[in-house]
Amino acid sequence: MRRPGGTDRRRLLFVLGLAVAVGVFTATVPLLRDWFDLRVYYGAVDTWVHHGGRIYDYRVPGTTYGFTYPPFAALGMLPMALVGLRTAIAVGLLLNLAALGAVVWVLVGPALRRYGWFGFALAGCLLALLEPVRDTFSFGQVNLLLLALVLSDAWLLSTGRGRRAGVGIGLAAAVKLTPALFIGLLLLARRWRAAGVATAVAAAATALAAWAAPGASHFYWTDAVWDTARIGRLAYVSNQSLQGVLARLAAPDEPSRAAWATAALLVLCVWAWRTSRALADEDWTAAFALTGLAACLVSPITWVHHLVWLLPSFAVLLHRGRPRIAAALYVVLCSSVVWLWFDDASGLDGFLGSNTYTWITLGLLLWLPVGQPRVGRVPLSRRARATPPAPRPAAPAMTVASDQPASSLSAGAAGRAAGPAVGTRRVSSSVPTGSTCPAAPKPQSSSERASSYTANPPPS
């Protein structure tokens, strides 16, 4: 008989070996990005606090890149001014690790509990190989932290704690504009309280930043927010949004704004339609997944590392029994395939290949499974039937102390034992339930590539 201790030691050694392999791969094959974005954050905050400079005037030495987020993001990063750059990098890595753990726990935690710590560690190592995730770590980006904030509200809504929801989305929207679409999701779901909380938190955070840095706030909201050139070239291959597709088609000319606005409007219509279907079944995982997909598509610039918003879609595919599709998309998103067209995205192959991640995002928006499976759908819901069933005769030997059939009680007890999970359907307690349904340039794949920035961008 094998000793449990020996099994745990073997699992620990396996996880440590896998973590080392993932780290070596990330640092050598796609090449380390040298925490370029975190250096931008650190330099902007340091200049603001210690040298009397302005947040949006800072540029990384040898590049044209500086701070591009709303002023509240700089306010939240002020603690970096108290430590050195290396300490800031270490803290950033730890925060991203914690955020990744929180994302895994919210999305697939109930399914991984049976495997204990080993399942969570294995999932974390596998996710770290995804190009959007590994770039978030390598650049020192904030994407995973924002995703964790947004998913905290998804967890609250799906577990019946909706009165507390909205703070995570509001904070995320104050740090970056893209998560603001999740306020639209709350409005679409008629969660007025949560939408109000999210809006109030975002507005309060923005007002706080305006009080702390009035000049920077005025410049950002009147000038910088409209200037996408501050972030990078629209046609750059890392831009996997609809605007990026149109920009590569029109290069070297500017893409049509009317065409982009039309495409974005169509995407938002599809998002509203499909999300409404998910919300009708209280499938919060799918609703949040669809919103992340739409946000990536309609944003003018969606760098590859922004695509961590696709992670909820993988959870939906796994929950709905589509592991082969999830595995195929996982392999593609680990491959850095879009960078094969780094120098030239012309022709049919360039149109298809350089926009691979955009096609994946669009395909998921159109075909991601939503709602409860029809086979396992609860026949009685609080919307369809609010009255209890007719009483049944008591059994001669024993009676059930409830107006519910015994099979429903046992199934309900099993559901309670399993615990709540994101996307689980909640049914009113008055209804019987069955199963509840530069200074260094940033290379990408070689010394001549960069994921979201480059010190020497190719001519536009």
pLDDT at 105: 92
> 3-state secondary structure string, the chain?
CCCHHHHHHHHHHHHHHHHHHHHHHHHHCCCCCCCHHHHHHHHHHHHHHHCCCCHHHCCCCCCCCCCCCCHHHHHHCHHHHHCCHHHHHHHHHHHHHHHHHHHHHHHHHHHHHHHHHHHHHHHHHHHHCCHHHHHHHHHCCCHHHHHHHHHHHHHHHHCCCHHHCCHHHHHHHHHCCHHHHHHHHHHHCCCHHHHHHHHHHHHHHHHHHHHHCHHHHHHHHHCHHHCHHHCCCCCCCCCCCHHHHHHHHHCCCCCCHHHHHHHHHHHHHHHHHHHHHHHHCCCHHHHHHHHHHHHHHHCCCCCHHHHHHHHHHHHHHHHCCCHHHHHHHHHHHHCCHHHHHCCCCCHHHHHHHCCHHHHHHHHHHHHCCCCCCCCCCCCCCCCCCCCCCCCCCCCCCCCCCCCCCHHHHHHHHHHHHHCCCCCCCCCCCCCCCCCCCCCCCCCCCCCCCCCCCCCCCCCC
User: 123 pLDDT exceeds 50?
Assistant: yes
> Between residues 29 and 226, which one has the greater pLDDT?
226
pTM, full prediction: 0.79
Place 29 in a pLDDT band, splitting at 50, 70 and 90.
low
Q: Is the pLDDT of residue 237 over 90?
A: yes
What residue segments make up the domains of the chain, in order of their start?
232-373
pLDDT at 115 over 60: yes
Mean pLDDT of 312-324: 94
What value does the mean pLDDT of the chain take?
A: 82
> What confidence score (pLDDT) does residue 12 get?
86
Question: Stretch 298-316: mean pLDDT, rounded?
Answer: 96
Return the pLDDT at 447.
Answer: 35
